[in-house]
Amino acid sequence: MSAVVEQDPQLMVVNPPLVQGSRDLHDLTDQISSVIEAKVYETPLKYWITLACTGSIVLLLGAMLTYLVNTGIGVWGNNKPIGWAWDITNFVFWIGIGHAGTLISAILFLFRQKWRTSINRSAEAMTLFAVMCAGIFPLFHTGRPWRAFYWLFPIPNTDLNIWQNFRSPLIWDVFAVSTYFTVSLLFWFTGLVPDLATLRDRATSKVRQVVFGILSLGWRGSARHWRHYEQAYLILAGISTPLVLSVHSVVSFDFATSVIPGWHTTIFPPYFVAGAIFSGFACVMTLLLIARWLLNLQNLITIKHLDNMNKIILVTGSVVGYAYCTEFFIAWYSGDIYERFTFLNRAFGPYWWAAWSMYTCNVFIPQLYWFRKMRTNLWVMFIISITTNIGMWFERFVIIATSLTRDFLPSSWGYYSPTWVDICTFIGTIGLFLTLFLLFARFLPMIAMSEVKGVASIEKHSFAGQVEGSPSHR
């Protein structure tokens, strides 16, 4: 099973190593753990200032939700005919963001893409936090979130004495999203265990020893552990892959199974999934660029990683652009006057500014990524990652608001504008998301040590042009 692998120096330019700088396994452990083990004053001040800012925004979210629960959901701007507005827009937006995490951790794992190891942990964490933010909106939209459990889940109760209607896509959504969160959490934690064991073994203070000792479940890296672990990881990746595709498909059913023009289309499931991956990758990009800068991880999150992600953004962005064209074509080709009107109204009606922001941000701007110079420029990718998310937020808003403002009867036409509570709640969830991510980046290993070591160990041989013994320690 041995083969001589010689790295052509010219290939180094095209295919640079995934782990740069520190070659030694111990250096890798040190570098990744040092972020977590640093004393308060050793963590860069820029980190604490950023955390303070995002933490304040979380307080804003708390205030808005308290106000909503105390007053009633009338403080939000949704009303007849726009019964779904910012809350569902934000819900779909956040769920979509989460999808990139699962794509990176599960689908790229099945495709044996080694470059995922530096970014999968943080992408999975991002999934969890995004789904938490998403959950806030439908939960608080019920008005009485403390009773929502009986309304959402089939739990026998004396509160209502009725059951859910399983013919409704809304209950499918409850199953899809709660399963998605649980599976992502289990997947994430499974991946964390070997790294928690590393932290346990390095711990010097009693508190750390106890906390990491319990969290790592007594993991000792035995070959008997790894064989189950690897099999389990493969199974979790295997079931997460159809799961992630199902989640946004089911979210799109909320719209597609209705009879509203602009929603009632069969293209919705694949179109939503592509959009979700598109926005999710952009969000991973934003977060990684920030974390890379705040915590100095340039040698682990290399330009090659970012370049690969930008290519996926280009592909999914173009798929989304294709879906927009198809929607317009089918609206014309169907001959349905309501469908035609909806799409003309989308582009040239009262929400024309939202629609054109969406086309610009999602379809036109990412085309810059055809050029390698653009894909490897940090400023360009930071700006595009943000415009992409703005565009994808507008996409959900455009789909929801334009179809609802124009009902079949002109007497039921309306216009929606958000209230200050809508705006502050959405900003609040962004704060919650960033705060959770920053806490994660500081207190848990943001880079999967055991996986990066596997990659570094292979690269050590291939890049040194030595004999590679066993070709695949993952």
Partner 1 sequence: MSQTSDPAILIAQIKDKLGIGDDKVYAVMGEFSEPEDLVEAGRRIREMGYTKIDAMTPFPVHGIDEAIGIPYSKIGWIVICGALAGITTAQVLIYYVGAIDYPLIIGGKPLFDFTYSIPPTFELAVLFSAITTFMCTWALSGLPRLYHPSMNYRSAHRASDDRFLLVVEADDPKFDAQKTAQDMRSVGANDVEVVEG
Stretch that binds partner 1, among 91-99, 375-383, 387-395, 446-454 (CB under 8 A): 446-454
Distance of CA 266 to the CA centre of its chain: 24
Q: What is the DSSP string of 151-183?
A: HHS----SSS-----TTSHHHHHHHHHHHHHHH
Q: Residue 177: name the closest of 265, 107, 249, 101 by CA.
A: 249
Residue 415 has phi, psi (to 5 degrees) of -140, 140
Residue 257 DSSP one-character state: T
Among positions 5-64, residues that touch partner 1 (CB under 8 A) are: 24-26, 29
The C-alpha atoms of residue 437 and residue 286 are separated, in whole angstroms, by 12
How many of the chain's residues bind partner 1 (CB under 8 A)? 71
We find the least distance from the C-beta atom of residue 276 to partner 1, in angstroms, to be 17
Is there binding between residue 222 and partner 1 (CB under 8 A)? yes
Q: Does 194 help bind partner 1 (rule: CB under 8 A)? A: yes
What's the closest the beta carbon of residue 98 comes to partner 1, in angstroms? 15
Closer residue to partner 1, CB minimum distance, 194 or 317: 194
Can residue 266 be called a binding residue for partner 1 (CB under 8 A)?
no
* Residue 162 interacting with partner 1 (CB under 8 A): yes
Q: Is 170 in the site for partner 1 (CB under 8 A)?
A: no
For position 3 contacting partner 1 by CB under 8 A, the verdict is no
Q: What is the distance between the alpha carbons of residues 73 and 59, in angstroms, rounded to a whole number?
A: 19
Where helices occur in 444-473 by DSSP H, the ranges are 449-464
Main-chain dihedrals φ then ψ at residue 150, nearest 5 degrees: -75, -25
Identified binder of partner 1 from the candidate list 166, 353, 373, 410, rule CB under 8 A: 166
| CB of 264 or CB of 474, closer to partner 1 | 474
CB 403 within 8 A of CB 342: yes
- What's the min distance (Å) between Cβ of 471 and partner 1? 8
Distance of alpha carbon 163 from alpha carbon 153, whole angstroms: 9
Distance, CA of 279 to chain centre = 8
- Point out which span in 137-145, 189-197, 405-413, 428-436 binds partner 1 (CB under 8 A): 189-197
User: Which of 165, 335, 353, 410 is in the footprint of partner 1 by CB under 8 A?
Assistant: 165
Binder among 232, 378, 423, 464 for partner 1 (CB under 8 A): 232
Q: Between residues 217 and 378, which has the closer beta carbon with respect to partner 1?
A: 217
Among 11, 110, 155, 235, which residue sits at the site for partner 1 (rule: CB under 8 A)?
235
Burial environment of residue 411 by CB neighbours within 10 A (0 to 12, 13 to 18, 19 or more): exposed
226 binds partner 1, rule: CB under 8 A? yes
Q: Please select the residue that binds partner 1; options are 32, 58, 243, 323, rule is CB under 8 A.
A: 243
CA-closest candidate to residue 406, choices 295, 283, 261: 261
**Between 271 and 394, CB nearer to partner 1:** 271
- Exactly one of 75, 148, 171, 347 binds partner 1 (CB under 8 A); that residue is 171
Q: Binder to partner 1 among 16, 21, 143, 218 (CB under 8 A)? A: 218
Number of Cα atoms under 13 Å in the Cβ half of residue 151: 12
